Amino acid sequence: MVSAPAGETTLYYHNYNWQVLAEYDGSNNLQRKFIYGNGTESPQWRIDEVLLMKAGENDYYYAHDHLYSPAALIDSSGTVLERYEYDAYGNCSILEPNFAPDPDGKSDYENPYYFDGKPLDLLDNGGLELMVWPYRNYSTYLGRWYQPDKLGMIPNDNKEINPLDLMYQYTDGMNLYEYVSSNPVNRVDPFGLWKSDMHYDETSRLAKKIGFKGLCAAKIAGANQGVDDLTPATNNAYQRYHFNGKTGILGDFIPYKPGRDEIANTRWEDAQDLLKKKGCNVYPALYLVGQALHGFQDAYSHSVSHHADTAWKHVTGPNQWPFWHSRPDKRSKWLKDWTATSINTQSALQAIWADPKVQCICKKK
């Protein structure tokens, strides 16, 4: 890639993840090199976790916030050189090491990476800030994309689905320019192709559709998503909550005892038992329902057919990194399974809704 700001030529060398590995000037002299995180903890979030910028003999290290936006630049001795703070949608304020505002508001070390770990382009003599994502460009000032979702109003690459079927239109939201469903404090979009989440978003939507009031829907969806947040599959101790087994040294399948399905069924049965008790507070039961739904939903995406029936296969299989366009839990790739998961989730929620005590507490007024 060649860039030519103000009559200067800069050549950028990228890897297959659109990450800049090195910058050269027009005479092919190396200017800077960059090193990135390997994404083993949560690769779909950390694809642009820049760790090191090397300029000449100087090494500059990055510290990050919870969205992996750079929060500080640090030299080899551990001294903070400058800091970065962001508003909700990514407008960056550059600060001195003592948190005082930088006099000119610009990086003294020509740091190119800011919100969400993405590069910032300054156009029109700095009058236009353009954040560069793989598929789209983003405006931190507007808090939205410059281009509509490349997947369109039907985020589906499964050609077997009728594109005129209203069920599959705008399933990622009506606004094709919206950034992460207007929740930038908690969510990221590594490619500019963010997808609705089954565990929280779809579960909450279905619960509300059935009749659950917002608080009850949030209890269920939050417990569902909490299985990922509190017992992440990246931790070996928690993989049994997401998979029925693991990949052995010889590539064989070694079952967990108990595994995902057994744990999910136990949570479901425990929820039913709680609801049978007199004077039952339904919220603990709803929490167990959410946990059970997580296992039921993972049974579709963490499966043999998706080449993701173990944690190892989920990460290394043909549908995973670096081939993000076909990852095992991507809705547009596995739309039939995603739809079946949604239908079965709704059936499970309807079974819980049939309990009079649940309706007494959770029915919309």
Average pLDDT value for the chain:
81
In a domain, 169, yes or no: no
Rounded CA-CA distance 332/28 in Å is 42
Rounded CA-CA distance 241/290 in Å is 13
In a domain, 183, yes or no: no
For 10-23, the pLDDT digits (tens) are 899 988 777 899 99
Task: Please report, rounded to a whole number, the percentage of residues in the chain having pLDDT higher than 90.
Answer: 42
Q: Is residue 123 domain-shared with residue 231, that is, in the same domain? A: no
**Could you give the number of structural domains in the chain?**
2
Task: Determine if the pTM surpasses 0.85.
Answer: no
Question: What is the side-by-side order of every strand in the sheet holding 30-36?
Answer: 2-3, 10-14, 20-25, 30-36, 50-55, 58-64, 70-74, 80-86, 92-95
Q: Is residue 54 domain-shared with residue 115, that is, in the same domain? A: yes
Rounded CA-CA distance 66/56 in Å is 30
Residue 68 contacts residue 46 (beta carbons within 8 Å): yes
Q: Is residue 77 domain-shared with residue 213, that is, in the same domain? A: no
Q: Is residue 211 domain-shared with residue 337, that is, in the same domain? A: yes
Residue 188 has pLDDT above 90, yes or no: no
Give the structural domain span for 100: 2-145
Domain boundary among 80, 114, 145: 145
Domain boundary among 83, 117, 145: 145
In a domain, 186, yes or no: no
Q: Is residue 351 domain-shared with residue 257, that is, in the same domain? A: yes
In a domain, 117, yes or no: yes
In a domain, 153, yes or no: no
For 236-282, the pLDDT digits (tens) are 777 888 899 998 888 889 999 999 999 999 999 999 999 988 776 79
For 34-75, the pLDDT digits (tens) are 998 865 334 344 457 899 999 999 999 999 987 889 999 999
Residue 260 contacts residue 302 (beta carbons within 8 Å): yes
Q: Is residue 123 domain-shared with residue 224, that is, in the same domain? A: no
For 337-357, the pLDDT digits (tens) are 888 898 999 999 999 999 999
Most confident of 97-101, 123-127, 213-217: 97-101
Q: Is residue 139 domain-shared with residue 204, that is, in the same domain? A: no
pLDDT at 127: 74
Q: Is residue 95 domain-shared with residue 221, that is, in the same domain? A: no
In a domain, 329, yes or no: yes
In a domain, 306, yes or no: yes
pLDDT category at 324 given cuts 50, 70, 90 is very low
